[in-house]
Amino acid sequence: MKIFTLIFCLLITSVCFAQRTSIEGSVLDGDFNKEPLAFASISVKGLDINAETSLDGGFELNLLEGKYTLIIDFIGYEVIEIKDVIVSNTDIKLNPVVLTSSKRSHDLVSTINEQ
């Protein structure tokens, strides 16, 4: 019984020490003087982990160690994928991500203005 209790305690301890790492970044609007883009969506490809940018364009994700692909999306803007984000045991600060309008919205505006 003592051995079972010791093994159980060791397993619980190892699970408690599985660290999550913080990934921080910001999303900027490339069409309007690189102003912060609030409420942009950040997701981890293949996982059900999502975040949304705050009013200052900042976001934070907490992930376990591994390699991930981040998807940054906002309605009317080109989707950006950041591949091979390697998460280790230290917090990560990403460079600002700049989103630009999708070509389809430009084409629509051009078509409306021509009529």
pLDDT at 90: 87
pLDDT at 67: 94
Q: Which two three-digit tokens encode residue 27?
A: 């999303």
What is the enclosing helix (H) or strand (E) of 42?
Answer: strand 41-44
Segment 11-15 mean pLDDT:
53
- pLDDT tens per residue, range 39-70: 999 999 999 999 999 999 999 999 999 999 99
Q: Specify the CATH number of the domain 19-101.
A: 2.60.40.1120
Sign of CA dihedral 78, 83, 89, 94: negative
Better-scored residue on pLDDT, 113 or 90: 90
Examine the pLDDT at 11 and tell me if it is beyond 70: no
Domain ranges of the chain: 19-101
Query: Which of 79, 84, 65, 72 is CA-nearest to residue 25?
Result: 72
Phi (first) and psi of residue 111, to 5 degrees: -65, -40
pLDDT at 60: 95
pLDDT at 91: 87
| Bridge partners, residue 64, by sequence | 20
